[in-house]
Amino acid sequence: MTFSSLKRVIAAKAKKTEKKIDFVPFFRKGNYLPVLKESQYKVDKFSIGTVPKDISGTYLKNGPNPVIDDPKSHWFDGDGMIHAFNFKDGELFYCNRWTQTEKCKFTQKTGKRFMLNLGDARGFAVLQQPLEQLEIKTGYRSVPPNMMRNTANTAMTVHQKRFYALLEADYPF
Protein backbone atom coordinates (compact mmCIF):
# COMPACT_ATOMS: atom_id res chain seq x y z
CA MET A 1 0.00 0.00 0.00
CA THR A 2 1.46 3.39 -0.96
CA PHE A 3 1.40 6.57 1.12
CA SER A 4 -1.30 8.13 -1.05
CA SER A 5 -3.69 5.17 -0.67
CA LEU A 6 -2.98 5.02 3.07
CA LYS A 7 -3.69 8.75 3.31
CA ARG A 8 -7.03 8.29 1.52
CA VAL A 9 -8.05 5.51 3.93
CA ILE A 10 -7.11 7.60 6.99
CA ALA A 11 -8.84 10.71 5.60
CA ALA A 12 -12.04 8.73 4.88
CA LYS A 13 -12.06 7.19 8.37
CA ALA A 14 -11.30 10.58 9.93
CA LYS A 15 -14.28 12.12 8.12
CA LYS A 16 -16.59 9.37 9.37
CA THR A 17 -15.42 9.72 12.99
CA GLU A 18 -15.27 13.53 13.05
CA LYS A 19 -17.70 14.90 15.60
CA LYS A 20 -19.22 18.33 15.54
CA ILE A 21 -17.93 20.48 18.36
CA ASP A 22 -20.94 21.72 20.27
CA PHE A 23 -19.10 24.25 22.41
CA VAL A 24 -16.82 27.19 21.72
CA PRO A 25 -13.50 27.01 23.58
CA PHE A 26 -12.39 30.10 25.53
CA PHE A 27 -9.62 30.82 23.01
CA ARG A 28 -12.24 31.37 20.29
CA LYS A 29 -14.09 34.16 22.17
CA GLY A 30 -13.63 37.80 23.17
CA ASN A 31 -10.08 39.05 23.66
CA TYR A 32 -8.70 35.62 22.70
CA LEU A 33 -9.93 35.80 19.10
CA PRO A 34 -7.12 35.88 16.51
CA VAL A 35 -5.77 39.23 15.34
CA LEU A 36 -5.99 38.84 11.57
CA LYS A 37 -3.73 41.69 10.44
CA GLU A 38 -0.61 43.54 11.40
CA SER A 39 -1.14 47.13 12.52
CA GLN A 40 0.38 50.08 14.31
CA TYR A 41 -1.24 53.13 15.83
CA LYS A 42 -1.20 55.67 18.61
CA VAL A 43 -3.57 54.81 21.47
CA ASP A 44 -5.68 57.93 22.02
CA LYS A 45 -8.49 56.74 24.27
CA PHE A 46 -8.18 55.25 27.74
CA SER A 47 -11.06 54.01 29.84
CA ILE A 48 -9.34 55.18 33.04
CA GLY A 49 -6.37 57.48 33.65
CA THR A 50 -3.46 58.52 31.48
CA VAL A 51 0.07 57.36 30.67
CA PRO A 52 2.56 58.92 33.13
CA LYS A 53 4.98 61.32 31.40
CA ASP A 54 7.97 59.97 33.31
CA ILE A 55 7.62 56.39 32.04
CA SER A 56 9.52 55.50 28.89
CA GLY A 57 10.16 52.14 27.26
CA THR A 58 8.66 49.23 25.38
CA TYR A 59 6.71 46.23 26.65
CA LEU A 60 6.81 43.21 24.32
CA LYS A 61 4.44 40.26 24.39
CA ASN A 62 4.76 37.12 22.27
CA GLY A 63 1.86 34.74 21.78
CA PRO A 64 0.09 32.38 19.38
CA ASN A 65 -1.97 33.97 16.63
CA PRO A 66 -2.93 32.02 13.51
CA VAL A 67 -2.32 33.55 10.08
CA ILE A 68 -5.40 31.63 8.87
CA ASP A 69 -8.45 31.77 11.12
CA ASP A 70 -9.63 28.15 11.27
CA PRO A 71 -12.34 27.38 13.87
CA LYS A 72 -10.91 23.84 14.29
CA SER A 73 -7.43 25.06 15.17
CA HIS A 74 -6.08 24.89 18.70
CA TRP A 75 -4.69 27.87 20.58
CA PHE A 76 -1.17 26.38 20.53
CA ASP A 77 -1.20 26.08 16.71
CA GLY A 78 -1.05 29.84 16.17
CA ASP A 79 1.95 31.45 14.53
CA GLY A 80 3.97 33.76 16.76
CA MET A 81 2.82 37.36 16.91
CA ILE A 82 4.77 39.96 18.83
CA HIS A 83 2.81 42.85 20.31
CA ALA A 84 4.77 45.99 21.23
CA PHE A 85 3.50 48.71 23.56
CA ASN A 86 5.77 51.77 23.44
CA PHE A 87 5.50 54.38 26.20
CA LYS A 88 7.06 57.80 25.61
CA ASP A 89 6.35 61.34 26.90
CA GLY A 90 2.89 60.41 28.21
CA GLU A 91 1.85 58.73 24.96
CA LEU A 92 1.23 55.08 24.12
CA PHE A 93 1.83 53.44 20.75
CA TYR A 94 0.89 49.89 19.72
CA CYS A 95 2.35 47.69 16.99
CA ASN A 96 2.05 43.97 16.16
CA ARG A 97 3.93 41.72 13.75
CA TRP A 98 4.00 38.02 12.95
CA THR A 99 7.36 36.34 13.50
CA GLN A 100 8.40 35.56 9.95
CA THR A 101 9.30 31.90 10.41
CA GLU A 102 9.43 29.70 7.32
CA LYS A 103 6.11 28.13 8.40
CA CYS A 104 4.46 31.56 8.73
CA LYS A 105 5.79 32.79 5.37
CA PHE A 106 4.57 29.59 3.67
CA THR A 107 1.08 30.08 5.14
CA GLN A 108 0.97 33.77 4.15
CA LYS A 109 2.12 33.00 0.60
CA THR A 110 -0.10 29.97 -0.12
CA GLY A 111 -3.08 30.57 2.17
CA LYS A 112 -2.69 26.97 3.36
CA ARG A 113 -1.32 25.42 6.51
CA PHE A 114 1.99 23.58 6.12
CA MET A 115 1.04 20.49 8.16
CA LEU A 116 -1.70 19.19 10.39
CA ASN A 117 -1.97 20.97 13.69
CA LEU A 118 -2.89 20.01 17.23
CA GLY A 119 -6.45 21.19 16.57
CA ASP A 120 -6.81 18.56 13.83
CA ALA A 121 -6.10 15.72 16.25
CA ARG A 122 -9.64 14.44 16.73
CA GLY A 123 -10.82 10.90 16.24
CA PHE A 124 -9.13 8.89 13.50
CA ALA A 125 -7.39 12.03 12.18
CA VAL A 126 -4.76 11.57 14.92
CA LEU A 127 -3.03 9.12 12.55
CA GLN A 128 -2.50 11.73 9.84
CA GLN A 129 0.31 13.61 11.57
CA PRO A 130 2.58 10.56 12.14
CA LEU A 131 1.97 9.61 8.50
CA GLU A 132 3.08 13.08 7.35
CA GLN A 133 6.25 12.74 9.44
CA LEU A 134 6.93 9.31 7.93
CA GLU A 135 6.46 10.72 4.41
CA ILE A 136 9.02 13.44 5.13
CA LYS A 137 11.56 11.11 6.74
CA THR A 138 11.39 8.60 3.87
CA GLY A 139 11.66 11.30 1.21
CA TYR A 140 8.17 10.62 -0.19
CA ARG A 141 7.22 14.22 0.62
CA SER A 142 9.73 16.99 0.16
CA VAL A 143 10.07 19.78 2.68
CA PRO A 144 11.74 23.10 1.86
CA PRO A 145 15.01 23.72 3.74
CA ASN A 146 14.51 25.15 7.23
CA MET A 147 10.79 24.37 7.04
CA MET A 148 10.01 23.28 10.54
CA ARG A 149 6.85 23.42 12.60
CA ASN A 150 8.39 26.30 14.55
CA THR A 151 5.75 28.88 15.36
CA ALA A 152 8.07 30.94 17.63
CA ASN A 153 4.99 31.81 19.69
CA THR A 154 5.97 31.17 23.30
CA ALA A 155 8.72 33.41 24.64
CA MET A 156 11.39 35.96 23.74
CA THR A 157 14.97 36.56 24.76
CA VAL A 158 17.95 38.71 23.89
CA HIS A 159 21.32 37.05 23.39
CA GLN A 160 24.46 38.89 22.26
CA LYS A 161 22.39 41.94 21.25
CA ARG A 162 20.07 39.81 19.05
CA PHE A 163 16.39 39.37 19.73
CA TYR A 164 14.93 35.83 19.48
CA ALA A 165 11.34 34.55 19.46
CA LEU A 166 11.12 31.06 20.91
CA LEU A 167 9.12 27.86 20.90
CA GLU A 168 10.23 25.26 23.46
CA ALA A 169 10.34 22.43 20.90
CA ASP A 170 12.44 24.07 18.17
CA TYR A 171 15.43 26.28 17.44
CA PRO A 172 15.26 30.02 18.31
CA PHE A 173 14.04 32.24 15.51
Q: Please check whether residue 171 lies inside any domain of the structure.
A: no
Q: Please check whether residue 103 lies inside any domain of the structure.
A: yes
CA dihedral over 97, 102, 106, 109, signed as positive or negative: positive
Q: Please check whether residue 58 lies inside any domain of the structure.
A: yes
Dump pLDDT digits (tens) for 50-90.
999 999 999 999 999 988 887 777 788 889 999 999 999 99
Number of domains in the chain: 1
Mean pLDDT of 79-106: 93
Mean pLDDT of 128-144: 70
What is the span of the domain harbouring residue 66? 3-166
The 3-class secondary structure across the chain, one letter per residue, is: CCHHHHHHHHHHHHHHHCCCCCCCCHHHCHHHCCCCCCEEEEECCCCCCCCCCCCCEEEEEEEEECCCCCCCCCHHHCEEEEEEEEEECCEEEEEEEECCCHHHHHHHHHCCCCCCCHHHCCHHHHHHHHHHHHHHHHCCCCCCCCCCCCCCCCEEEEECCEEEEECCCCCCC
Q: Is the pTM of this model over 0.85?
A: no
Q: Please check whether residue 173 lies inside any domain of the structure.
A: no
Q: Please check whether residue 71 lies inside any domain of the structure.
A: yes
Residue 40: pLDDT above 80?
yes
Q: Please check whether residue 172 lies inside any domain of the structure.
A: no
pLDDT-above-70 percentage for the chain: 71
